[in-house]
């Protein structure tokens, strides 16, 4: 364990970890595992305010993220956070409460633009000093809901679209994020910092982004709930892009209810993102109404056999989870064979779309950056190789630069094959044939060891690529742990099926109660 000193702040409240008792450190942070509902109750009673809650989290970040275990999950705190909190407290005192997120501190990933004093860099030194001309849609929605934007989280640089041998959670601006359960293990990525900040109780909620696994994998290995929604449910304007086809932001929380609250706040049309037009009539501003402890009764869940057998101990957890699903009323259907086709086309699609999207973002949305194109990013990285590329290079950026525009026949054919293979010939086909309400699988295996020299050594399976390729929703919930390393259970299905997936995920969560707070161990024991 890492010993951490306790810290007093106002009225004797402890903000950090307490004294060691034998070999176990007692984490006595006053807001440990607090829910959004409980925070609202505290503010309504007057035992806490938005300002006092924000102060507690800021102190926690100093003790746990920057000192103590040095998790390096927070790349930058918001210098305006306390001012925002004061304004929200004044609104509450005047009788105005915007909703469930009023006064609640939320972290956002450092590829999500905010028109304030914070930078938006995707963890890259090439974008150091870069800000956005206006708020992203995600930040607009958070401000409207009354959230306190607490800071920005570290990530795999360029959302893990830089090198084929990268280390998840490492960026040249923020360094290596550490898994709070076992510090020498990966936090996964690319939304590493968002997951770790939520898991280690550095904030109430966080927003991550995903192209293929970047939200659900770090949620799984950090023992939290993550929702990768249908592409188009949440507006993406102002987010540093990888893929128009697959990118989405999504909620990260310690409970399904909290994740559902955040999801409802983020949905809605985005005039700068045409994909959100597809969500009209399919989105909801309150997803908590779908939550039910009886949510698994009389549902049919497909269990893909192709996703089992990669990690034996994770499979044991899955078998136990499947037994519980049946006990709660679910009918399980074995699904043989591959679920999707066209996976070989995905990288081609991403390379073309990354080049196009990044160049457009740098020219249209960014301000203050030295670089204005992917060509200039590559040149900057080569010029500052010792700082930017001390461990791994930029092969994916170079491949993207070599591609043409979005009218190229190679791109158009690859995108058509990828989407058709994942949708009509993939998940839609499987779910229709078996009359399924959703599919269930292990999200990932337990976290592998962080290795900056050789990069990620996954080898632990996972189902994230399938719904990501289709642009379909995916929810992960804590399922248990292997030698103290969390593993998540995934529910995924057809487009716009978030209400159904949330219903099932919540029922499983309430029946299983597998969320366990981290203990900041040095190594697997």
| Average pLDDT taken over every residue of the chain | 94
pLDDT given at position 4: 34
Confirm whether 490 is domain-assigned.
yes
pLDDT given at position 25: 58
Q: How far is CA 233 from CA 60, 274, 275, 277, 493, in A?
A: 33, 11, 8, 9, 15
Is residue 97 pLDDT above 60, yes or no? Answer: yes
The full length of the chain comes to 525
pLDDT given at position 334: 97
pLDDT given at position 154: 98
Q: How is residue 426 annotated by DSSP?
A: I
Confirm whether 23 is domain-assigned.
no
Confirm whether 72 is domain-assigned.
yes
Active site residues: 109, 190, 214
Confirm whether 518 is domain-assigned.
no
Q: Given pLDDT bands bounded at 50, 70 and 90, which one contains residue 312? A: confident
Distance CA 459, CA 317 (A): 17
| 263-309 pLDDT, tens digit each | 999 999 999 999 999 999 999 999 999 999 999 999 999 999 999 87
- The residue among 70, 166, 153, 66 whose CA lies nearest residue 118 is 153
Query: Which residues make Cβ contacts (< 8 Å) with residue 65, sequence separation at least 6?
Result: 71, 72, 73, 74, 197, 200, 202
Distance CA 43, CA 46 (A): 5
pLDDT given at position 15: 46
Distance CA 210, CA 195 (A): 12
Q: Total structural domains in the chain?
A: 1
Confirm whether 524 is domain-assigned.
no
Beta pairing partners, 175: 171
CB atoms within 10 A of CB 452: 13
pLDDT given at position 406: 98
Distance CA 427, CA 429 (A): 5
Check residue 196 and give left, alpha or beta (phi > 0: left; psi -120 to 50: alpha). Answer: alpha
| 188-210 pLDDT, tens digit each | 999 999 999 999 999 999 999 99
Which domain, by its residues, includes 234?
8-13+28-512
Dihedral pair phi/psi, residue 205, rounded to 5°: -145, 165
Segment holding 366, helix H or strand E: strand 366-367
CB atoms within 10 A of CB 294: 12
Distance CA 95, CA 82 (A): 20
CA angle 129–199–52, rounded 5-degree value = 75
CB atoms within 10 A of CB 466: 26
Q: Are 176 and 492 in contact (CB under 8 A)?
A: no
Confirm whether 190 is domain-assigned.
yes
Q: 269 in helix, strand or coil?
A: coil
Q: Are 242 and 346 in contact (CB under 8 A)?
A: no
| 67-91 pLDDT, tens digit each | 999 999 999 999 999 999 999 999 9
β-pair type (366-367, 131-132): antiparallel
CA angle 57–525–322, rounded 5-degree value = 80
Confirm whether 478 is domain-assigned.
yes
Q: 361 in helix, strand or coil?
A: helix
Query: Which CATH number characterizes residue 415's domain?
Result: 3.90.1300.10
Alpha helices (H) in 94-203, listed in sequence order? 137-145, 157-160, 192-199
> Higher model confidence: residue 240 or residue 20?
240
| 426-475 pLDDT, tens digit each | 999 999 999 999 999 999 999 999 999 999 987 556 899 999 999 999 99
Confirm whether 21 is domain-assigned.
no
Helix axes 409-422, 346-364, angle to 10 degrees: 120
Distance CA 59, CA 73 (A): 14
- The residue among 441, 468, 446, 477 whose CA lies nearest residue 459 is 446
């Amino acid at each position: 364990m890492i010993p951490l000193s306790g810290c007093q702040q106002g009225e004797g409240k402890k903000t950090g970890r307490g004294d060691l008792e034998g070999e176990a450190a007692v984490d006595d942070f006053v807001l440990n595992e607090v829910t959004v509902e409980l925070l609202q109750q505290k503010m309504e009673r007057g035992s806490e305010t938005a300002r006092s809650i924000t102060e507690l989290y800021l102190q926690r970040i100093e003790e746990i993220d920057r000192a103590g275990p040095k998790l390096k999950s927070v790349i930058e705190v918001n210098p305006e956070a306390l001012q925002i909190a004061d304004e929200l407290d004044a609104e509450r005192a005047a009788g105005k409460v915007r909703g469930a997120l009023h006064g609640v501190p939320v972290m956002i990933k450092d590829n999500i633009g905010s028109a304030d004093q914070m930078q938006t860099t995707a963890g890259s030194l090439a974008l150091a000093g870069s800000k956005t001309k206006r708020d992203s849609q995600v930040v607009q929605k958070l401000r409207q809901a009354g959230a306190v934007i607490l800071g920005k989280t570290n990530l795999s640089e360029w959302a893990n679209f830089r090198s084929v041998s990268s280390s998840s959670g490492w960026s040249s601006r923020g360094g290596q994020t550490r898994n709070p359960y076992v510090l020498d293990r990966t936090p996964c990525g690319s939304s590493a910092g968002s997951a770790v900040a939520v898991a280690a109780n550095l904030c109430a909620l966080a927003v991550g982004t995903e192209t293929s696994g970047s939200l659900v994998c770090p949620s799984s290995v950090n023992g939290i709930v993550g929702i990768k929604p249908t592409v188009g449910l949440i507006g993406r304007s102002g987010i540093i892009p990888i893929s128009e086809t697959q990118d989405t932001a999504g909620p990260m929380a310690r409970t399904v209810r909290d994740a559902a609250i955040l999801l409802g706040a983020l949905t809605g049309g985005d005039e700068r993102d045409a994909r959100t037009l597809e969500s009209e009539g399919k989105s909801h501003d309150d997803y908590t109404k779908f939550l039910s402890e009886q949510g698994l009764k009389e549902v049919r869940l497909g269990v893909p056999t192709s996703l089992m057998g990669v990690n034996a101990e994770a499979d044991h957890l899955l078998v136990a989870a499947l037994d519980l699903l049946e006990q709660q009323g679910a009918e399980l259907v074995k699904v043989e064979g591959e679920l999707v086709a066209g996976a070989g086309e995905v990288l081609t699609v991403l390379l073309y779309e990354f080049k196009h999207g990044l160049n457009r973002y740098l020219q249209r949305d960014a301000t203050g950056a030295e670089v204005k194109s992917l060509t200039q990013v590559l040149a900057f990285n080569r010029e500052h190789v010792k700082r930017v590329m001390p461990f791994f290079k930029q092969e994916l950026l170079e491949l993207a630069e070599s591609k043409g525009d979005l009218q190229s026949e190679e791109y158009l054919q690859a995108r058509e094959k990828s989407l058709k293979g994942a949708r009509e010939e993939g998940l839609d086909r499987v779910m229709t044939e078996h009359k399924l309400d959703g599919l269930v699988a292990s999200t990932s295996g337990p976290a592998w060891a962080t290795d900056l020299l050789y990069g990620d050594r996954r080898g632990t399976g996972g189902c994230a690529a399938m719904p990501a390729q289709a642009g379909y929703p995916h929810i992960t919930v804590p399922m248990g742990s292997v030698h103290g390393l969390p593993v998540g259970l995934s529910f995924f299905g057809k487009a716009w099926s978030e209400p159904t997936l949330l219903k099932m995920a919540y029922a499983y969560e309430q029946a299983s109660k597998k969320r366990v707070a981290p203990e900041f161990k040095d190594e697997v024991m």
